[in-house]
Amino acid sequence: MSVATKADPSAAKSVPLVMVSIGLLLLLAALDQTIVSTALPTIVGDLKGIEHLSWVVTAYILASTVSAPLYGKLGDLYGRRLMVVVSVGLFLFGSVICGFADSMNSLIFARAVQGLGGGGLFVLALSVVGDVLPPKERGKMQGVFAAIFSLASVAGPLAGGWFVEVATWHWIFFINIPFGLLAIAGFIAGFHPTGKRVKHKIDWSGALFLSLGLAALTLVCSLGGRTLPWASLEAQLLILLSVFALVAFVFVERRALEPILPLSLFKLNIFTLTSVIGFFAGVAMFSSITFLPIYLQIAVGISPTDSGLAMIPMTAGIVTTSTLAGRYMGRTGRYYYLTLLGMGFLVLSMGLLAQLQADTSLVVFSLYLFMVGLGMGFIFPVVTSSVQNVVPRHQLGTATAAGVMFRQVGGSLGVAVLGAIFTARMMGPLEASSIEGVLSESGEFALSPTMISSLTPEAKTLLGGVIVDAMQPIYWIAALLCAIGFVAALFLEEVRLENRMVKSEAPSVSAK
């Protein structure tokens, strides 16, 4: 049995200290995905790069997505403690250079460095829990982790807005430093290296081609048509690179001894369809987190802190339905209709978000956002539990990580493509407008909450209309993609959760 499965009491000098340290590191990683959202309008206004706003989110997601599968195996090879230190070190280094960024290009690069570190935090945390806790106590930590992510989804937007208003946006990154150092010091003091190692054949080629393919695809989706004309040599080369790298990735995975993404998993109906569902749910989730603060702060005109408060209904929806879904699955072992409910709520809520106007009341907005949360709360527990129920035990971790990867890839590609559409629809009207302060002396766009507050009521109304018109197609497209996910959910097989698969043979399928 691997060290990740059987607890080793000698792995921890102090189990409580290790758990507190891991919890703090997870909180930092989770906060970093949400704290940026409400500060984003101020950041892109200060750095004069609203046309590149989606990349502040995409760079982090993409880097963490690609690096996450490697950390588990590297931890087995070189020791969990060393890899935790490396992961946290990269994360904190990325935080420092994010805080000192003076241009959008430097911030995007720094966010990618942060993502390379952040991608290992969750994977390594789960492995460390397996090292120091016996199986009967590990379930309790899942509740703790769920509470941490719920806290982060509420505290992140609020903290981002508060830092912007009382200090500067740079502090949303600098605040990671003291807490990260405290957490890593506690972990090193509490976690004792066992010296046990599990040999793996690291799929470096697969990781390289996956990284190249996703990065090139995201770049061409984000930049094509405006920054890079589709007929330009640069755009054509990016398209060729993405196709070549993704085809090479499939070729490499078919022959790898320990592939990042075993292609045999796609023979399972549940894995394939939940990957599709998770991909489109990721588009809905990250587009909501990324673009709605822009709407709230620029079109509606509320403060960054208030926009953070306005995002809380989504968290309330997630907590409500994820709790109900967990209890229902625990009692019945069924999940088919939960998936349909989840995708149905996402289709409806994305369509409702497409109806937003600058004068939509915050009560109505909160209701729409609550419905987004209801959909996601149904989807994410089902996607994970159903896949873990049918894959062979030796592929449990790989399949779980792959499911998360598809959701993250959906988020990164979705934000890049939708961000490009948002920018293209917004730039033309802004360039033609007579609103003072929109363009800086160098010709760059300088939209920010501070600039908005200095505008006349007429200019605010005009600007709000531009933002709303640019945003509406984003959510119509998201609604269409979620509708495709709903159709996929109709064909999802249902395997009772109590029939957990422990061998390679396929389990029986229950009636829907």
Summarize pLDDT for 113-154 with one digit per residue, the tens: 998 898 888 777 766 766 666 645 555 565 566 667 767 777
Token couple for 280: 């489109």
Q: What are phi and psi of 391, to 5 degrees?
A: -80, 155
What is the reported pLDDT for 127? 67
What is the reported pLDDT for 436? 63
Confidence of residue 501 (pLDDT cuts 50, 70, 90): very low
Helix (H) or strand (E) holding 253: helix 233-255
CA distance 410 to 407: 5
What is the reported pLDDT for 481? 94
Task: Flag whether pLDDT at 58 surpasses 60.
Answer: yes
Instruction: Of 80-89, 436-445, 487-496, give the lowest mean pLDDT range.
Output: 436-445
For residue 327, how many other CB atoms are within 10 A of its CB? 10
DSSP 8-state class, residue 335:
-
Packing angle of the helix pair 396-432, 53-78 (nearest 10 deg):
160
CB contact at 8 A, 410 and 279: yes
Confidence of residue 5 (pLDDT cuts 50, 70, 90): very low
CA distance 116 to 88: 10
CA distance 146 to 408: 18
Could you report the per-residue pLDDT of 427-485, keeping only the tens digit for each? 777 777 666 656 555 555 556 666 676 777 877 788 888 889 989 999 999 999 999 99
Q: What is the residue-wise DSSP string for 26-44?
A: HHHHHHHHHHHHHHHHHHH
Burial group, residue 218, by CB count within 10 angstroms (0-12, 13-18, 19+): buried
Q: What is the residue-wise DSSP string for 448-491?
A: -HHHHHTS-HHHHHHHHHHHHHHHHHHHHHHHHHHHHHHHHHHT
Instruction: Calculate the CA 250 to chain-centre distance.
Output: 24
Which domains does the chain carry? 1-201 (1.20.1250.20), 204-256 (no CATH), 270-495 (1.20.1250.20)
Burial group, residue 340, by CB count within 10 angstroms (0-12, 13-18, 19+): middle
DSSP 8-state class, residue 509:
P
Helices (H), 133-232: 135-166, 171-174, 176-190, 204-223
- Coil vs helix vs strand at 383: helix
Task: Flag whether pLDDT at 252 surpasses 70.
Answer: yes
Q: Residue 348, by phi and psi: left (phi above 0), alpha (psi -120 to 50) or beta?
A: alpha
Specify the higher pLDDT residue, 147 or 292: 292
Could you report the per-residue pLDDT of 25-52, keeping only the tens digit for each? 878 877 777 788 788 888 887 887 666 7
What is the reported pLDDT for 499? 43
Name the most confidently modeled range: 214-218, 336-340, 396-400: 336-340
CB contact at 8 A, 435 and 91: no
- Compute the chain's Rg from CA coordinates: 23
SS (H, E, C) 75-127: HHHHCHHHHHHHHHHHHHHHHHHHHCCCCHHHHHHHHHHHHHHHHHHHHHHHH
Mean pLDDT of 213-218: 83
CA distance 372 to 143: 23
Confidence of residue 19 (pLDDT cuts 50, 70, 90): confident
- Coil vs helix vs strand at 443: coil
Name the most confidently modeled range: 9-23, 376-390, 451-465: 376-390
CB contact at 8 A, 389 and 332: no
Confidence of residue 506 (pLDDT cuts 50, 70, 90): very low
**Taking the C-alpha atoms of 405, 85, 153 and 51 in order, what is their torsion angle to the nearest 10 degrees?**
-70
Instruction: Calculate the CA 68 to chain-centre distance.
Output: 12
Task: Flag whether pLDDT at 13 surpasses 60.
Answer: no
Helix (H) or strand (E) holding 386: helix 362-390
- In the chain, the percentage of residues whose pLDDT exceeds 70 is 81
Confidence of residue 187 (pLDDT cuts 50, 70, 90): confident
Which residues pair with residue 439 across a beta bridge? 445
Specify the higher pLDDT residue, 18 or 144: 18
pTM: 0.79
- In the chain, the percentage of residues whose pLDDT exceeds 90 is 20
Residue 20 C-beta-side C-alpha neighbours within 13 Å: 12
